[in-house]
Amino acid sequence: MDIVPACHPFQEPMPDTPSSSPLHLPTELAAFSDLATRRRTSLLMDRERPVPGELVTRLCRLATWAPNHKKTWPWRFAVLTGDSRARLGELTCEQLIDEGVTDETKLVKALGKYMRSPTVVMVAAAAHDNPDLHRENRDAVAAAVQTFLLGATAAGLASFWASGAPLRSSAVRELCGFDATDRIVALVYLGWPNGEVELPKRPEPVIHFIVD
């Protein structure tokens, strides 16, 4: 596979970077690049086709291979299927009302929102007494979420990392079986794809190569 350097010999090109001189990437990196660039935030999924629990468990296990300073193992997962997704919608609606939202269209939308995928995975970060580790626990969980998404992509699943009102709801935390001090980092919609979303453009990263 010929890959073209964008601004440094070992930097991979952005997908739409014009080519000049080819760079031969190791096969494993080329395969990983393909996976990482293929992962898309997509809700184009079959609502009726279940995702096997064993597969979700496997993805959660994979996620725990994310880096974790001081090995605090901060990730917490909750897997919502069936009617629990409707309950998630109700609690999200209540959270929005508590926050002063009165727009009926918005509230009705929140009610049915989580039925759009057969599985919703909530990922939370445990608290820590040390303020630095408390912050880093969230960083580690964000890394775990990305590992989860990449695993999902490799498994042929569509996924969507969402945030918003459910992440701020103590009732949602309780529904998920999380501790009161856990912070919800991500709500991941998960399902089998039934369409493809457009590739969003990525601007060139700002990179400073400091040599002296």
Ligand X SMILES: Cc1cc2nc3c(=O)[nH]c(=O)nc-3n(C[C@H](O)[C@H](O)[C@H](O)COP(=O)(O)O)c2cc1C
- Distance of alpha carbon 111 from alpha carbon 26, whole angstroms: 47
Residue from 18, 100, 156, 200 in contact with ligand X (CB under 6 A): 200
Return the residues of window 171-190 that contact ligand X according to CB under 6 A.
none
Q: Determine the residue with CB nearest ligand X.
A: 41
Rounded to a whole number of angstroms, the minimum distance from the CB of residue 152 to ligand X is 12
Q: How far apart are CA 40 and CA 157, in angstroms?
A: 10
In the region spanning residues 17 to 56, those forming contacts with ligand X, defined by CB under 6 A, are 40-41
d(CA 178, CA 143): 19
The answer to whether 161 contacts ligand X (rule: CB under 6 A) is yes
From 59-67, 73-81, 121-129, 157-165, give the range in contact with ligand X by CB under 6 A.
157-165
Tell which residue, 186, 138, 141, 140, has the closest CA to residue 160: 186
* Under rule CB under 6 A, residue 116 binds ligand X: no
The correct pick among 19, 163, 170, 181 for binding ligand X (CB under 6 A) is 163
Query: CA dist 36 to 105, 129, 147, 176, 187, Å?
Result: 36, 34, 10, 29, 20
CA-to-CA dists, residue 104 to 19, 163, 173, angstroms: 51, 20, 24
Q: Which of 183, 157, 165, 187 is nearest to 78 (CA)?
A: 187
# chain residues binding ligand X, by CB under 6 A: 7
Q: Which is nearer to ligand X, 40 or 109 (CB)?
A: 40
Place of tokens 């309950």: 87
Site membership for ligand X, residue 205 (CB under 6 A): no
- DSSP characters over 20-33: SS-EE--HHHHHHH
Binding mask 86-115 for ligand X (x = CB under 6 A): ------------------------------
23 versus 43: smaller Cβ distance to ligand X: 43
Q: Which is nearer to ligand X, 14 or 23 (CB)?
A: 14
Binding site for ligand X (CB under 6 A): 40-41, 161-164, 200
